[in-house]
Amino acid sequence: MGLYSRAMKGLVVVLVLWLLVAVCDAESMQYKDPKEAISVRVKDLMGRMTLEEKIGQMTQIERKVATPDVMSKYFIGSVLSGGGSVPAPKASAETWVNMVNEIQKGALSTRLGIPMIYGIDAVHGHNNVYGATLFPHNVGLGATRDPALLKRIGEATALEVRATGIQYAFSPCIAVCRDPRWGRCYESFSEDHTVVQAMTEIIPGLQGDIPASYKKGVPYVAGKTKVAACAKHFVADGGTVRGLDENNTVIDYEGLLDIHMPAYYDSISKGVATIMVSYSSWNGLRMHANRELLTGFLKDRLKFRGFVISDWQGIDRITNPPHANYTYSVQAGILAGIDMVMVPESFTEYIDALTSLVKNNVIPMSRIDDAVMRILRVKFTMGLFENPMGDLSLANQLGSKEHRELAREAVRKSLVLLKNGNGKGDQLLPLPKKSSKILVAGSHADNLGYQCGGWTIEWQGVAGNDLVVGTSILSAVKNTVDPSTQVVYNDNPDPEFVTSSKFDYAIVVVGEHPYTEMFGDSTNLTIAEPGVSTITNVCKMVKCVVVVISGRPVVIEPYVNSIEALVAAWFPGSEGQGVADVLFGDYGFTGKLSRTWFKSVDQLPMNVGDSHYDPLFPFGFGLNTQPAKGM
């Protein structure tokens, strides 16, 4: 045999051996085998990952910067849509799915093919998406006192989120709002932690019911029609001084555990996949840097096994001013126990800082491994490796008739009747459907954007009827009254118009304009102008029911005596027909206040059980009515 032949034979042997090794390696990739235990899959995958790949998993970026090339180059683990961040105006389910899948292809093209998880603020339905069903905000859902309803809302929301190819919802907010001056108070189910605890039933709606033998603290997401949920914001975000957003909560350890922590016990026991950290501080220490609570309490004591995620630029705000010492902020946040950082745009700065901190032994590799293990556990649990791509099989769920009927039911059950006549048998509600002529007035009567509040299409919400698909209260009234009843609409009529028109009665719909977060912080809690003048001009001239659209109790005490009937409708969402259902007696009022209604803002903060408790309407108050017969 010649030298050349022997060399060729040797090369063939080498190639065969290489192929055998490759085949064996592929067969031994346990992380790709769905039959293997999740713990085995996580361990196998982590054993293959470089530091660069691990830090990529700990990075969540905004869709605006999430090109396929960025996903593959930096091994990005998660993407999000911030408020109002959409692929196109009025984007269809198909447009959303195509966008998410294009980003996912970038993630899957990497060496290990780890899928990204896409998150979005679906806080009262799939609220960023045109055509979605928009449910009442949490303050209204708390008034229903109906955990089973919350579970059904979670199920519907999960289907609509999945309809757009998205697998992760930053919901529910389980804050216990202790001061309605807080701009996020409507995101809280109640001032009472027991109500908030009961409403965590939305989590098994979003994620699925955990199996009976499931280990407590381990995340659970039941497949392609469910989403990973996110309990937020850990912890005591609703207890800040004067209700200022992102401010300091001053309370002792026992008070923290008694008021603000209990809903986290329920959320963890129901298998919540992720927990988001609060911007706020506890007794002066930013929660994003609080190792005692994030690691010592949440992870070690409560045995939470999902992943902890920062809020939007949350680690930047560890310092004051924000981003003053970014490397320190990354160090403090990761060492405190944050597993995934919502960067969300300047991601190379974060990746470089974290990489340097690890290579210089400031952050131990064990902390990185803990974070990545938790992230991968959630991804494996929810079947993301087997089903990484979205499809259009659920597109018909977006804004479906069934979901809109569910939202309508939620509106009915959330309405709280605060006054109905003067206590002398002169009740105004339910209203007669058959009348000669009725007036519908107020800035919020024919405005779906105002009706839905913040976190609707845009971060701060919208105005008007163009961007939300639904039924305004004016349309609902017209749908409900007898065909012979003349409905006259005037958003802010003057007294002469009211007196000269000879109305049988009036429905006045006023309230707050949409707001979100710090832009909703308020020291006066007043009804937006010209709401007060509308109440005055109408209710002094004709029998009226005032429907208040708001995210919290507002100043109403000076006007109560001139009003025959008063309804708290909160921010009810897209299905205003639910308001008419109850005003006209097709259903009775059943809602109970989930918040104390103050007389004056000077009383605040004031919660049930306080020594200075002197409310206009107490926590739990709500008049009941019976459905009308033959009206």
CA of residue 603 relative to chain centroid, distance: 29
In angstroms, the CA 73 to CA 69 distance is: 6
Q: Give the whole-angstrom CA distance, residue 270 versus residue 33.
A: 27
Cα separation, 414 vs 77, in Å, equals 38
Q: Distance between CA atoms of 584 and 495, rounded to whole angstroms?
A: 25
Tokens 């105002």 sit on residue = 450
8 Å CB contact between 29 and 385: no
Positive/negative CA dihedral, 520, 525, 527, 529? negative
What contacts 351, CB < 8 A, 6 or more positions away?
A: 55, 56, 59, 74
Residue 611 CB-density burial (10 A; 0-12 exposed, 13-18 middle, 19+ buried): exposed
Give the number of C-alpha atoms closer than 13 A to the C-alpha of residue 77, restricted to the C-beta side. Answer: 27
Q: Is 92 exposed, middle or buried (0-12, 13-18, 19+ CB in 10 A)?
A: middle
Tell which residue, 423, 412, 416, 415, has the closest CA to residue 618.
416
- Going through 184-264 in order, the beta strands assigned E by DSSP cover 230-234, 248-249
Three-class DSSP category at 220: coil
Name the DSSP letter for residue 384: T
**Rounded distance, CA 604 to CA 522, Å?**
12
| CA 356 – CA 330 distance, rounded (Å) | 11
Question: Other C-beta atoms within 10 Å of 369: how many?
Answer: 13
Q: Spell out a b/e string for 7-30, using b for 16 or more CB atoms within 10 Å of the CB, else e.
A: eeeeeeeeeeeeeeeeeeeeeeeb
118 residue type, one letter: Y
β-bridge mates for residue 142, sequence order: none
The residue count for the chain: 631
Kindly report whether the peptide bond that precedes residue 235 is cis, defined as omega within 30 degrees of 0: yes
The secondary structure of residue 271, as a DSSP letter, is T
Cβ-contact 69, 331 below 8 angstroms = no
Helix 147-163 and helix 401-414, axial crossing angle in degrees, nearest 10: 150
What residue ranges in 86-178 does DSSP mark as E strands?
117-120, 168-169
> What's the burial of 284, exposed, middle or buried (CB within 10 Å: 0-12/13-18/19+)?
exposed
The dihedral built from the CA positions of residue 491, 492, 498 and 500, taken in this order, carries a sign that is negative
For residues 132 and 160, is the Cβ–Cβ distance under 8 A? yes
Contact predicate 44/325, CB 8 Å: no
Angle between helices 365-381 and 326-336 (to 10 degrees): 60
Question: Where are the alpha helices (H) located in 344-418, listed in sequence order?
Answer: 347-359, 365-381, 401-414
Known catalytic residues are 311, 517
